[in-house]
Amino acid sequence: MTDTPGSTAARPRVSVVVITYNHERFIRHTLESIVSQQAGFPFEVIVADDASTDATPDIVREIAARHPGVVVPVLREANIGIHPNVVDAMNRATGEFVALCEGDDYWIDDRKLARQVALLDADPAATVCFHPVQVIWDDDSEEPSVFPAPERLADPSLVALVEDNFIQTNSVVYRRRDGYDDVPDVMPLDWYLHVLHAATGRILVDPEVMSVYRRHPGGVWSDSVTAPLQFWQKQAAGHAAAIEAAAALLTGIPDTAEPLAHHAGRILGSVTAADNEDPAVGLLRETVAAHPQWATLGIRGQSAARATDRAALVDAQELATALSRDVGILREVLERRTTKLRTHQARAKELQRRVRRLEAELAQATGGTARERVSRLLRRLGRRD
């Protein structure tokens, strides 16, 4: 279990947990990107396949045979679902740290584990380390992007994470807990795991993009854009349960209640919008009935958001009033100065008229203008010659 495939000499420092189901198109790339890590310390790769019906198990066996003691295959005979598969795989981890990577994603930096473990080693109070990822669309329907946006890296705090998930699954490394049997069956499970670990320590961030998150039609989140009603019919209960589980986990932790309510409010808004597509389905009614605490938090979060919007509107109106007042004052000053300028211009014109009149009177008194006097003098001098 070292960074040199085939060696079983030492206990791993990191356990990489790979969850896979019907990923025959991707799993080889995923595992090869992990076993090629130049970590400088032992690590293991636990591959938990949830009874795939395609060639995924065969590919996992092949790669495990080439990397004995490094790749640990867990090939289930019957499908047990995402939550039991993840919890069992994490309970099998023996490393000091646990890294996650789903079977359709991959890593692009062979120093990823080394960098993140070095950060965690340098900060014993830290329990989570992540980095931004590149997001690609398998069908090229959208341009590649980076998640999260750079400005999100400025505040990698528990409070910010509670309000919105900014940690992509295949970027995270946790300081491993003693066990994971207490993890509830919620969705998104990765967000809850992030919060679970961050609730007891600091979150660290490496700014380097070191992995790729792949979006494709078979992905868990693909329907959230293309078929929101169908997506939320499958996922609403899990999201509501995640909020309620997080509320219990975060009890007594300062400054987390309001951001959790905001998070619940956004989910409530999404479920409501999906329900509006076909109210007869009863999506909203059933989810609220099953998860009243989530609904209460969501309503509170939406009310707070509206209050914030109203406060922002009042601030904007007050600013507009102040600006209008300032503009009025500036307009009065400008008008006064314009009036003074016009007065000065009128006086200047009057002075010019007086100067011209005085010049005319002087010319008449002295027998013509200076030019005329010079001309007469030259004519007299010419006659003398």
pLDDT digit string, tens, across residues 201-232:
999 999 999 999 998 776 566 666 667 888 89
What is the pLDDT, as a whole number, of residue 360? 74
Other CB atoms within a 10 A radius of the CB of residue 38 amount to 12
Determine, yes or no, domain membership for 81: yes
Low-confidence stretches of the chain (pLDDT < 50) are 2-8, 309, 312-313, 385
Other CB atoms within a 10 A radius of the CB of residue 277 amount to 13
User: Do residues 16 and 102 touch, judged by C-beta distance below 8 A?
Assistant: no
Determine, yes or no, domain membership for 28: yes
d(CA 89, CA 146): 28
Task: Provide the 8-state DSSP code for 142.
Answer: S
Distance from the first to the final alpha carbon of the chain: 125
What is the pLDDT, as a whole number, of residue 8? 45
139-148 tens-digit pLDDT: 777 899 999 9
Give the structural domain span for 17.
Answer: 1-221
Determine, yes or no, domain membership for 149: yes
Determine, yes or no, domain membership for 194: yes
The domain spanning residue 75 has which CATH number?
3.90.550.10
Determine, yes or no, domain membership for 103: yes
Determine, yes or no, domain membership for 371: no
Determine, yes or no, domain membership for 384: no
What is the pLDDT, as a whole number, of residue 4? 41
Domain count, the chain: 1
Determine, yes or no, domain membership for 72: yes
Per the listing, tokens 């509670």 go with: 162
Helix (H, G, I), strand (E, B) or coil at 3: coil
- Host H or E run for residue 258: helix 257-277
Q: Characterize the bridge pairing of strands 211-215 and 145-147.
A: unpaired
